[in-house]
Amino acid sequence: MNFNDLLSSRYSCRKFAPTALEKETIDQLLQAGRLAPSACNAQPYFFYAVGPESMARLDECRKWYGAPNMILGCIDTEDYGWQRESDGAVFSSFDIGLAMSQMALKATELNLGSCFIASFDPEQIKRILGLPEYHMPYIALVLGHAQMGPNDNHYLRQSPDKLYSLMP
């Protein structure tokens, strides 16, 4: 798949077949995330590959669109990584977004459906999965074989007029 096709093929899938993904597939997704840049190369995150049994336990929190797998991105609350001196800005959420965006695109390349989910209670997930106190669930990427295409929202994109430019 060429890069433009890859970018335009990704969409948020909200209905999945129950078939679990192979470990090799999950490994390829994690590897795509490992290659991402991060501020000062701090990589201030942890990723959990979650399979069907744990997904069933997580149903207590919310519905995950029937996805058999997810990669759960957690922020390290004991070390937020690099901090900009001039204004104190932290970049851990930016860094985790970059890494997981690469995973989502890799999933598209592998012809898998994916959807980011941020709407959950991090403490509830931490408790159910028994995560260490300092691993704060931040963003989930649910994954599996897609059983639906994009919704109307997918096609609502910023108009090119809104892309400000200082060129030349």
Ligand X SMILES: Cc1cc2nc3c(=O)[nH]c(=O)nc-3n(C[C@H](O)[C@H](O)[C@H](O)COP(=O)(O)O)c2cc1C
Residues lying near ligand X in the complex (CB under 6 A): 11-12, 14, 115-119, 139, 150, 153-154
Residue located via tokens 């990704």: 10
Please state, in angstroms and as integers, the Cα–Cα distance from residue 137 to each residue in 30, 47, 59, 82, following that order: 16, 9, 15, 19
Nearer to ligand X, 94 or 134 (CB): 94
Q: Is 33 strand, coil or helix?
A: helix
Please say which residue, 52 or 97, places its beta carbon nearer to ligand X.
97
State which residue, 24 or 162, has the beta carbon closest to ligand X. 162
In the complex, minimum distance from the CB of residue 82 to ligand X, in angstroms, rounded to a whole number: 21
User: Within the chain, how many helices (H) and strands (E) appear?
Assistant: 5, 4
Provide the minimum distance between the beta carbon of 157 and ligand X in the complex, in angstroms, as a whole number: 8
Could you say which DSSP state residue 146 is in? B
Q: Which of 152, 1, 86, 67 is nearest to 58 (CA)?
A: 67
List, in sequence order, every residue forming a beta bridge with 139; answer none if it has no partner: 73
State the nearest-atom distance from the C-beta of 83 to ligand X, in Å: 22
**Residue whose CB is less far from ligand X, 155 or 164:** 155
User: Considering the complex, what minimum distance in angstroms separates the CB of residue 130 from ligand X?
Assistant: 23
How far is it, in rounded angstroms, from Cα 41 to Cα 120? 28
> Smallest distance from the beta carbon of 24 to ligand X, in angstroms?
26
22/121 with CB nearer ligand X = 121
Residues 6+ apart with CB under 8 A from 16: 65, 66, 67, 68, 113, 142, 143, 144, 145, 146, 147
